[in-house]
Structure 1
Amino acid sequence: MKIGEFAKKSGVTVKTLLHYDKIGLLKPSEKTDSGYRIYCEEDLLKLQQITTLKFIGLSLNEISHILHESGENLENMISIQKKALEEKKKHIEAVIDVFNKAQNTAKKNGFLDASNLIDIIKVTNMESRVREQYKTDKNLNIRSNLHSYNVNKIDFDKWCFNQMNFSLNANVLELGCGTGKLWFKNKDYIENTLNITISDFSRSMIRIARNRLKDVYHDFHYEEINAEEIPYNDETFDIIIAQHMIYFVPDIEKALAEIQRVLKPNGVFYVTANSCNSMKELNRLSENFAPNSGLDNNGYSERFDLEHGRGMLEKYFHKVDVEILDGKIIVDKAEPVVSYKASTIQGSSILIGEKKKEFTKYLEEYIKKNGDISITTKTCMFKAMK
């Protein structure tokens, strides 16, 4: 097929096909001596993959990586597209549900209050922003770097591990595994009898965790899991772990109900969160630098934190205890602080270009005047028993 026929058959414009050819995303199978582009049925399959991946929100660069660098075979490619479309469907259904609730409230009260509007904004925006944050481990590593300046040298992952009680032959599920650091840092203390499933909603994070743990002597099971729909039967796990991730779930209540469902009787849910007072000095500096910009908060972590988490958990668990870890970051240079804020969901769209340079200069002047920046850290682990 020549390009005009191919465009007509596929429903894509000639201009789009020319652009795909130019950037190397979809090149025709051949070109004639006179310069005509010739497409075949295989090109049609590639175009279908491109349009599907574009529909679910991936950029052309991301699509190019999947098609040309990931090494996925056809069966896996279809599976990826199908799962992505299912995720999009669930997200759309969640958005519709929020709008229905808002509509009912408006009919009942005659108006929509701020909380309704906030719910709509959060559920329609947060999933894509969170997925963007965790496509790689870059942002996690940047934020870990700032925490390396903490005067409290207790390692957070080792502290968490020591809070957990693993019974013999326990079935363990970790939600939101990230880079797998919990298990890597405690690799010498993992009992061989434990049946551990490591999961994340991000395929990239699962890949990173698997690679990091490949030399750890334990037979981990890896699974891509959305915490709102855990694909296991009732009462499957003795222990479920969620480190600093519950607040990223669009429907926290639904996730907690799912976690309670798949826990065995007397099973324990170990979940970590920040205090609303964590990073308060940095947030104050950010507000002084850019008032009303949204840079002065801890992002989505406010949705489930030390101050409010217990009440949310007590709806689903009969006993909830909490352990607290306090610390203080003291840093005498601006770069780690700027990088930290620029890596966050709220900071990534604000601290770019000249604005990032201005924030760096602002912090450098503060350090010159005060000697350093002192930042409170306060985190916790809830132990919720079914």
Structure 2
Amino acid sequence: MKIGEFAKRSGVTVKTLLHYDKIGLLKPSQKTDSGYRIYCEDDFLKLQQITTLKFIGLSLNEISHIIHESGENLENMISIQKKALEEKKKHIDAVIDVFNKAKNKAKINGFLDANNLIDIIKITNMESRVREQYKSDKNLNIRSNLHSYNINKVDFDKWCFNQISFPEKARILELGCGTGKLWFKNKESIDKNLDITLSDFSKSMLKIAKDKLKDVDYDFKYEEINMENIPYDDESFDIVIAEHMIYFASDIEKALSEIKRVLTFGGMLYISANSCETMAELNKLAEKFDSSLGIDNNGYSSRFELENGDAVLKKHFNKVDVEILEGKIIVDDAKTVVSYKASTIQGSSMLVGEKKKEFTKYLEDHIKKNGNISITTKTCMFKAMK
């Protein structure tokens, strides 16, 4: 069929089809000598994939990569798209829940205060910004660089590992494994009888973790998982580990409910988080520099932290203990501090161009006056038993 009929049958405009052809996203099956584009039934499959992936929120470049380079067969492609749509639905449900809560508060108070508006902004913005943040390990490495100035030289991942009690032949699931650094840094201490599954919602991170751990003498399993929909049966694991990531869940309560479901009776959740005191001095400097930028806080991590995590966990778990690790960053390099803030979700869009230069100059002046920047670090490990 010619482009006009194909457009009419599919409900997509001719202009859109011409654009897809131009960028190589959807080429017609053939072109006549006269230059007419001819489409066939198979092209509907390609167009369906494009429209579904666009609906999910992917860019045309991302869609092109999936369609042309994934090598998935038809059944797998349909399964992948269905899963992605289910995740989209869950995110929309979480957004609706926030709006309902805001509506109820507005009904009672007669207005929406700033906190209600902030909740709406964060939840509607969260998914795409978090995915963008963790496409590679670049931002994680930048943030690790600032923490290398910590005068408390206890390695965080070794500290976390030592907090975990591993039963013999335990089945372990790590959510949000990132680069796999927890296991890489403790590779000499891994019991070969453990059954360890590393997961992340980012395919890129899983690839990085696999590469980082390829020479570690252990056969890790890898799984792409959204923590709000863990694809395992009830009581599949003895231990679940979640390092600094639970606050990225659109629905934290749903994520914890899923974790509890897959844990055995007596199973343990080890979940690390920051304190609201973490980065307090840096946040205060950012506020004095320009409070309108929104970089004077710890971002999403405030959704689950030392100060509120205990109450949240006790809704789901019988017993909750906590261990705390404190430290102090002493740094005299303004660029390292600016890079840290610019690597965060909010900072990546606000600390650019002239604004980034101005903030660097602001911190350089502070260092000249005070000798350095002193920044509190305070993190914790919750130990929750089912």
Q: TM-score of the superposition, structure 1-length normalised?
A: 0.91
1:115-134 alignment runs, 5 A limit: 115-134=115-134
Q: What code does the residue aligned with 2:11 have? A: G
Question: What is the SS of the residue equivalent to 2:349?
Answer: coil
Are residue 2 (structure 1) and residue 2 (structure 2) matched?
Answer: yes
Contact (CA 8 Å) 1:237, 1:267: kept in 2 or not?
A: yes
Structure 2 CA distance for aligned equivalents of residues 91 and 110 of structure 1: 27
Farther off after superposition, 191-200 or 325-334: 325-334
> For residue 331 of structure 1, what is the aligned residue in structure 2?
331
Contact (CA 8 Å) 1:244, 1:273: kept in 2 or not?
A: yes
1:334–1:41 distance in 2 versus 1, CA, 3 Å? farther
Q: What code does the residue aligned with 1:260 have? A: K
Structure 2 CA distance for aligned equivalents of residues 287 and 199 of structure 1: 36
Farther off after superposition, 265-274 or 230-239: 230-239
> For residue 256 of structure 1, what is the aligned residue in structure 2?
256
Structure 2 CA distance for aligned equivalents of residues 236 and 30 of structure 1: 51
Once the two structures are TM-superposed, the CA of residue 83 in structure 1 deviates from its matched residue by: 1.0
Are residue 322 (structure 1) and residue 322 (structure 2) matched?
Answer: yes
Q: TM-score of the superposition, structure 2-length normalised?
A: 0.91
Contact (CA 8 Å) 1:173, 1:196: kept in 2 or not?
A: yes
Deviations 1:45-89 (A, max 9, x none): 222211111111111121122223333333332222111111111
> For residue 196 of structure 1, what is the aligned residue in structure 2?
196
Question: What is the SS of the residue equivalent to 1:330?
Answer: strand
Structure 1 CA distance for aligned equivalents of residues 202 and 301 of structure 2: 19
Are residue 221 (structure 1) and residue 221 (structure 2) matched?
Answer: yes
Once the two structures are TM-superposed, the CA of residue 107 in structure 1 deviates from its matched residue by: 4.9
Contact (CA 8 Å) 1:157, 1:181: kept in 2 or not?
A: yes
Once the two structures are TM-superposed, the CA of residue 116 in structure 1 deviates from its matched residue by: 4.2
Once the two structures are TM-superposed, the CA of residue 300 in structure 1 deviates from its matched residue by: 0.7
Q: What code does the residue aligned with 2:340 have? A: Y
Structure 2 CA distance for aligned equivalents of residues 263 and 333 of structure 1: 45
Task: Indicate the percent of aligned positions where both proteins have the same amino acid.
Answer: 78
Farther off after superposition, 63-72 or 44-53: 63-72
Question: What is the SS of the residue equivalent to 1:383?
Answer: strand
Once the two structures are TM-superposed, the CA of residue 182 in structure 1 deviates from its matched residue by: 0.9
Once the two structures are TM-superposed, the CA of residue 178 in structure 1 deviates from its matched residue by: 1.2
1:40-55 alignment runs, 5 A limit: 40-55=40-55
Structure 1 CA distance for aligned equivalents of residues 378 and 345 of structure 2: 20
Contact (CA 8 Å) 1:137, 1:205: kept in 2 or not?
A: yes
Question: What is the SS of the residue equivalent to 2:350?
Answer: coil
Once the two structures are TM-superposed, the CA of residue 22 in structure 1 deviates from its matched residue by: 2.5
Q: What code does the residue aligned with 1:381 have? A: M
Question: What is the SS of the residue equivalent to 2:293?
Answer: coil
Contact (CA 8 Å) 1:247, 1:301: kept in 2 or not?
A: yes
Once the two structures are TM-superposed, the CA of residue 115 in structure 1 deviates from its matched residue by: 4.8
Structure 2 CA distance for aligned equivalents of residues 108 and 277 of structure 1: 32
> For residue 21 of structure 1, what is the aligned residue in structure 2?
21
Deviations 1:97-143 (A, max 9, x none): 33334444555665555554444333322222222212222222221
Farther off after superposition, 45-54 or 229-238: 229-238
Structure 2 CA distance for aligned equivalents of residues 376 and 33 of structure 1: 71
Q: What are the ranges of 5 or more consecutive residues in structure 2 without an aligned counterpart?
A: none
> For residue 78 of structure 2, what is the aligned residue in structure 1?
78
1:353–1:111 distance in 2 versus 1, CA, 3 Å? closer
1:229–1:44 distance in 2 versus 1, CA, 3 Å? closer
Question: What is the SS of the residue equivalent to 1:348?
Answer: helix
Question: What is the SS of the residue equivalent to 1:5?
Answer: helix
Question: What is the SS of the residue equivalent to 1:232?
Answer: coil
> For residue 290 of structure 2, what is the aligned residue in structure 1?
290
Question: What is the SS of the residue equivalent to 1:174?
Answer: strand
Once the two structures are TM-superposed, the CA of residue 271 in structure 1 deviates from its matched residue by: 0.8
Once the two structures are TM-superposed, the CA of residue 289 in structure 1 deviates from its matched residue by: 1.6
Contact (CA 8 Å) 1:248, 1:300: kept in 2 or not?
A: yes
Structure 2 CA distance for aligned equivalents of residues 276 and 316 of structure 1: 23
Contact (CA 8 Å) 1:273, 1:306: kept in 2 or not?
A: yes
1:367–1:32 distance in 2 versus 1, CA, 3 Å? farther
Farther off after superposition, 230-239 or 100-109: 100-109
Contact (CA 8 Å) 1:130, 1:248: kept in 2 or not?
A: yes
